[in-house]
Structure 1
């Protein structure tokens, strides 16, 4: 599926705070936890800072009959870990564990709209995925077998400090214009995504009030698309991410008001 990038909205000052591209795959049969340092060395020139984090549980979008909850078993402490490989500036991050690779861009300067564009991020992620695939092939595996893909956009909309109420309909088009002012706000919605009539993933829209990383009052709008790519290889994963970046962009326009988009200086 080709993506019409000319139809994508553009803003001079978007409320975007973080973008995440991620791929989950079958754990390579010849990978052992001790080799995580070798994986970090693939990226260490651009991501010199290494830290350990709690592991992420497998995520699968399932459909149809009732699915029992997935239970993760661990045999001994620290058997499986997640690793953060951070850039020196802290604005880019690779998350790696035995069954997934994620790339995060994070806004680190609150007064600057310094998003480097999706095209830059996915080009970097493609290079990182292919480097990882070559590494696991060197261990005797054929390739990465992709089981789920994810693209997420996290937006932080600043509110007036010191006020105990705000009008969420000022920002969100899915609310009535007559909505009463509120002290706090929370909303969540999920939409099934279909390919040739069959479900393969979901689009999630979540919004809630809170405080950003600088303790400023804000309302957050998070959009996530997650699901199974058309093919379970790296090209299929990249195609999924490209397609669903477009889907998320269109949902952002549907979910926000023209007045809000004007404040964010929409140019297209």
Structure 2
């Protein structure tokens, strides 16, 4: 079979993100993200920073699409866990964790760093 995809010496993609969203983890805090960092990642993952949480995203179909357009607001009754960003020393990889998401980022070498 002939490979019909183009071949690039310098691909146009500079960042790739894989994100998984799930139901909120009960009693989650940034401490859990720190525990993951120290127990499952090696010393190459040297930088950690806190970032604002990302809002959950849902696909809407049919009549639901009408209500999903435009801006919106949320009423929060208690503090929500923030997003933990764990960055590898070479600034090419980042893992982001919050109570409803796990995100893995790859950034092309030589492109502006995550930090």
The structure where helix makes up a greater share of residues is 1
Aligned to 1:17: 14
Q: How far does residue 93 in structure 1 lie from its aligned partner after superposition? A: 0.4
Measure, in 1, the Cα distance between the counterparts of 2:22 and 2:54.
Answer: 13
The TM-score with structure 2 as length reference comes to 0.74
Q: CA RMSD in A?
A: 2.4
Where in structure 2 are there 5+ consecutive unaligned residues?
Answer: none
Residues 207-231 of structure 1 show CA distances to partners (whole Å, capped at 9, x for unaligned) of: xxxxxx5xxxxxxxxxxxxxxxxxx
Contact 1:57 1:72 in 2 (8 A): no
The structure where strand makes up a greater share of residues is 1
The higher relative CO (CA closer than 8 Å, separation ≥ 6) is in 2
Which of 75, 78, 97 is the matching residue for 2:77?
Answer: 75
Structure of larger gyration radius: 1
SS of the residue corresponding to residue 38 of structure 1 reads helix
Contact 1:53 1:82 in 2 (8 A): yes
Where in structure 1 are there 5+ consecutive unaligned residues?
Answer: 111-212, 214-268
Q: How far does residue 42 in structure 1 lie from its aligned partner after superposition? A: 3.9
Aligned to 1:60: 58
Measure, in 1, the Cα distance between the counterparts of 2:8 and 2:110.
Answer: 17
Q: How far does residue 51 in structure 1 lie from its aligned partner after superposition? A: 0.6
